[in-house]
């Protein structure tokens, strides 16, 4: 059974840093493309970023609001993906979900979140 | 970034009803459009990918259609477990974007 378990969420002050982790089991982790998606309380879903498998180049892409502040990395030896969040703002407060992405090579790469973890809550206070 | 607009933002329906949710993209997305269901306090669940491909495990009463910029999610014979919020999401571009959601409530 595919399982994703996020950890690391906390209450933190604006300007601070936090590192989220996601542990995956039940699938071949090194082949997986992984994303982070967040959801502010009572709001909709917002994609944060994605890391491809090393086999597919390990490319990392970010949403504009977090580019330059957040960093995604992966440790295939431990079946984990991380989200390092720096210079946190109150607007970054959200539930953060880790996902395994389906992907398709058409005219360019296309991918979408398939499996989701249960999320970890980040609250940034002023 | 491609903007995704869902309508309505909420609706009330009864068990057994046929429900349609629409999603419009600000630019063409071919058929790279996906639908998710989210229940309160839970993670989203992928229902349909690539506009009309039903994800394994999704009940057959869920269907998707459309291409280009206009898409629909249809739930035929609405069941009690279908009351939830539904999101569309485009995967045409590297930066994924979601619609604002449609909350389906019990009438």
The CA distance from A56 to the nearest CA of chain B, in Å, is: 15
Give the per-residue pLDDT at B100. Answer: 98
pLDDT digits (tens, 9 = 90+) for B84-105: 999 999 999 999 999 999 999 9
Give the per-residue pLDDT at A121. Answer: 98
**Percent residues over pLDDT 70 in chain B:** 100
Once rounded to an integer, what is the mean pLDDT over residues A68-90?
98
pLDDT digits (tens, 9 = 90+) for A9-20: 999 999 999 999
Q: Is residue B98 less than 8 Å (CB to CB) from chain A? A: yes
Q: How confident is the model at residue A122 (pLDDT cuts 50, 70, 90)?
A: very high
pLDDT beyond 90 at A39: yes
DSSP letters, chain B, are ---EEEE-SEEEE-TT--EEEEEEESS--TT-EEEEEE-TTS--EEEEETTTEEPTT--TTEEEEEETTEEEEEESS--GGG-SEEEEEE-SSSS-EE---EEEEE-
**Percent residues over pLDDT 70 in chain A:** 100
Nearest CA in chain B to A121: B41
Q: Is residue A49 less than 8 Å (CB to CB) from chain B? A: no
Give the per-residue pLDDT at A47. Answer: 98
pLDDT beyond 80 at A80: yes
pLDDT digits (tens, 9 = 90+) for A90-119: 999 999 999 999 998 777 789 999 999 999
CA distance A62 to B95: 7
Once rounded to an integer, what is the mean pLDDT over residues A46-75?
97
Q: How confident is the model at residue B33 (pLDDT cuts 50, 70, 90)?
A: very high
Q: How confident is the model at residue B29 (pLDDT cuts 50, 70, 90)?
A: confident
Helix (H, G, I), strand (E, B) or coil at A107: coil
A:84-103 residues touching chain B, CB 8 A cutoff: 97, 102
Determine the residue among B93, B96, B102 to mutate to test chain A binding: the one whose Cβ has the most chain A Cβ atoms within 10 Å.
B96
Q: Is residue A46 less than 8 Å (CB to CB) from chain B? A: yes
Give the per-residue pLDDT at A107. Answer: 74
């Amino acid at each position: 059974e595919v399982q994703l378990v996020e950890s690391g969420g906390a209450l933190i002050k604006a300007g601070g840093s936090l590192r989220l982790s996601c542990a995956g089991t039940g699938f071949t982790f090194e082949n997986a493309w992984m994303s982070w998606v967040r959801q502010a309380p009572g709001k909709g879903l917002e994609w944060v970023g994605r890391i491809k498998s090393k086999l597919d180049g390990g490319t990392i892409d970010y949403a504009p609001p977090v580019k330059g502040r957040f960093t995604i990395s992966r440790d295939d030896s431990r079946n984990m993906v991380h989200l390092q969040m720096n210079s946190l703002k109150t607007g970054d407060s959200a539930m953060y979900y880790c996902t395994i992405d389906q992907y398709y090579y058409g005219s360019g790469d296309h991918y979408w979140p398939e499996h989701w973890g249960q999320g970890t809550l980040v609250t940034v206070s002023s | 970034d491609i903007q995704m607009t869902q309508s309505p933002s909420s609706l009330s329906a009864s068990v057994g009803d046929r429900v349609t949710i629409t999603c419009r993209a600000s630019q063409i997305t071919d058929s790279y459009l996906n639908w998710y269901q989210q229940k309160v306090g839970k993670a989203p669940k992928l229902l349909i990918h690539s506009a009309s491909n039903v994800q394994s495990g999704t009940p057959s009463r869920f269907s998707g259609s459309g291409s280009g910029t206009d898409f629909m999610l249809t739930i035929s014979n609405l069941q009690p477990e279908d009351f939830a919020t539904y999101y569309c999401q485009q995967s045409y571009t590297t930066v994924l974007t979601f619609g604002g959601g449609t909350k389906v409530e019990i009438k």
